[in-house]
Amino acid sequence: MKLRYVTAALLGAGLCLPVAVAGTTQPAPVIIDLDGQFAHGDIITARDAKSDDVLLGCGTRHYDFGGGGTFETGFCQARVDGGDTVTCFTQSPFLLDRMKNLNDTSYIRFSWDDDGTGNLTCNYVGFSTQSFYQDKHTMGNQTGKDR
């Protein structure tokens, strides 16, 4: 009998608690692994970092020289606060096509080959656009030390 009252009390108390937490966030700060030759993070977390030095992104450039002469190149770059910076480049149509899928709230992971002279060639680009990478509270509204 006592067990039923305890169970009923616990169930009743549970009705006062929220069933689920909405708006989950999962920040992914910018990380550069020079030994592993990869970098990753999400754009919102990079943008809202306490330091203005932190950055992450990829882009493409398209040139039309007229007379049918065109050129397309792409790059990915990352920089961590007070530390490493990396930028790799590619002319691979496959990777360039993937770089066009970048979103302003995307998680990005990229890797590179180093030719030994400091020229880094991108060999992998991956994106994931998920609601939990976007901080619904700050959304890039703060700058510098106010973050």
121-145 residue pLDDT tens = 999 999 987 777 665 554 444 455 5
Model pTM score:
0.74
* pLDDT for 12 beyond 70: no
89-127 pLDDT, tens digit per residue, is: 999 999 999 998 888 888 999 999 999 998 999 999 999
* pLDDT for 83 beyond 50: yes
Residues 6 or more apart from 86 whose CB is under 8 A from it? 32, 34, 39, 77, 78, 79, 112, 120
